[in-house]
Amino acid sequence: MRLSPLISISIGLVSVTITSIMLSNTFFDVAPDDYKQTFTYRRTLAESLAVQYSTLAGQGDFTTIEEAMDSLVERTHDILSAGLISVHGEILAETLDHQNLWTPPPNNESTLDHVQIPIFQGLARWGTLQIRFQSEQDVPTLDILSSPWTRFVVTVALLGFLGFYFFMKRTLRHLDPSSVVPKRVKAALDNLEEGVVILDPNDQIILSNTAFLRQSGKDITALIGSDISTLPWVTTEAHVAEDLPWVLARTQNSPQTASPRILIQSENTFRKLLLNCSPINDDAGRVTGVLVSFNDVTELDLANAQLVETLQNLHETQDELLKKNAELELLATRDPMTGCLNRRAFFEQLDQLYVSAKEGGTALSCIMTDIDHFKSFNDRYGHALGDQVIKVFVKTMSECIRPSDIMGRYGGEEFCIILPKADSSYAREIATRMCRKVEAESGAKIRTTSGLSITASFGVSAICPETVDPSELIEQADQALYLAKEGGRNQVKTWEPESCEELATANKH
């Protein structure tokens, strides 16, 4: 069954509305996050129960705990089971089937349906409260449909369809050409070789004959109700500063004849037309519309106009391609968090600098650096602060290097810097400056609890006649970095063959 245009348009408008709502929620979080709210509620409930059960457990009253758990499961529909486990894995209290329902969560961290709360006695942990909540696949379909967000979207869709349907029905009635021009008149206009359109007082097309459909390259549904000024017109140089002829005919209530205009028919086709515009008056002499005829006088200037348009489109396309290529190049070569070169791009530039240094007989140095005790930042303050530490660390180091130096993210918190035309003495000086600057300034740039300090260790190496490839330069700097770590951190070590032999011997033992 084919839907009527009115229903199709209403469905299309509703689809656009719902899509806008969904996109707004995706990018701007206009709707509450059910997952976060549910997880916060369940974790808070579990923590409250853990406090109560820890008090009873301290009295050795595990029977009461088990009875309370059974009552909790019986009265709370989204709690399936609960259990109290000692730190040694002994089951102190549990509900029926808890062992069958409980599955240890990944990384031993609470999830939406598996919440576990550690219980402490003093500073020592002696047990864990496990609560198995109802998961999404356990929720009946009707419960999902009763979600406020689902009801909101369905309500907007239904009311929006009704509103758009009746609004468009009323609007299209006024745009019906048959209410303005009799059918016999339109039939006569279709027999003309010239294009003819009739405009209302707002310059909207209310009737078009077959000839103008061919000239414009559009179908009747695209033209009726549209503003004729929005068609892809290209005016000649002699008429750039003039008002449009149909506007002059309407506002001055006088005919406008032989006004040349160029209409873009399709992507590669233009029509050069001579427009004749005559105002349509009622019995009182008031302008109620404009009759516009289009005489196709061939396309003498088409080739030049088409060339200009093609060149303009080419420049726009090239600019867009250059912009996209620059964005892709940035994404392909840069670490998104720090802006440093990623490993692939870093090693590509390193290979080029190495070959240039070897062929030109110039110096080339490498600095490997690593944030001291970085894991403690993540464990103690969370990954958000860990990321902030890395960003501040990179910014601090970048203030110490030259524009010709390159910095790459070698690992999680490990970075590598290549200094072209710099010997090991200069590289050590730069590394020492970085080491001191990181210790002196980076901690102050991190907004967290007082007492937080950031330090880093540095390893320095430089190519020599015996260096066979760039990876050897990196490996030597990495070995020097290891010595700096072993030597107490927050210092700079330069690679030397003797120290590396000692390091290799120590690693064997």
Mean pLDDT of the 101-126 span? 85
Taking 80 as the threshold, does the pLDDT of residue 26 lie above it? no
Pairing of strands 205-208, 364-371: unpaired
Contacts 24+ apart (CB under 8 A), 354-362: 354/463, 354/469, 354/470, 354/473, 356/420, 357/420, 357/421, 357/463, 358/463, 362/420, 362/421
Topology (CATH level 3) of domain 34-138:
Beta-Lactamase (3.30.450)
Q: How confident is the model at residue 42 (pLDDT cuts 50, 70, 90)?
A: confident
CATH topology identical between 34-138 and 179-300 = yes
pLDDT band for 24, please (50, 70, 90 cuts): confident
- Fold assignment, 179-300: Beta-Lactamase (3.30.450)
The beta-strand segments (E) located in 267-422 are 269-281, 287-296, 364-371, 406-409, 414-420
| For range 65-88, the mean pLDDT | 88
- Per DSSP (E only), the strands in 88-181 are 91-94, 114-121, 124-133
**pLDDT tens for each residue of 431-451:** 999 999 998 887 666 654 445
Question: 264: number of CA atoms within 13 Å, CB side?
Answer: 15
Given a contact cutoff of 8 angstroms between Cβ atoms, the answer to whether 353 and 418 are in contact is: yes
Assess whether pLDDT exceeds 90 at residue 369.
yes
Packed helices 383-398 and 374-381: angle between N→C axes, nearest 10 degrees = 140
Q: Which residues 6+ apart lie within 8 Å of 452 measured at CB?
A: 381, 443, 446
> What average pLDDT does the segment 370-380 reach?
85
Which sequence spans correspond to the domains of the chain? Answer: 5-31+141-174, 34-138, 179-300, 343-508
| Angle of CA points 486, 489, 491, to nearest 5° | 115
What is the share, in percent, of the chain residues with pLDDT greater than 90?
28
For 245-261, the pLDDT digits (tens) are: 999 999 999 999 988 88
140 has a pLDDT exceeding 70: no
Q: Shortest CA distance to 66 belongs to which of 113, 101, 88, 98?
A: 98
d(CA 5, CA 7): 6
Mean pLDDT of the chain: 83
Can you tell me the distance from the alpha carbon of 17 to that of 296, in angstroms, rounded to the nearest whole number? Answer: 42
Tell me: pLDDT of 303 over 80.
no
What CATH homologous superfamily does 343-508 map to? Reverse transcriptase/Diguanylate cyclase domain (3.30.70.270)
Q: Is the pLDDT of residue 267 over 90?
A: no
CA-based torsion, 39, 41, 42, 46: positive or negative: positive
User: Could you tell me where the DSSP H helices lie in 77-136?
Assistant: 98-101
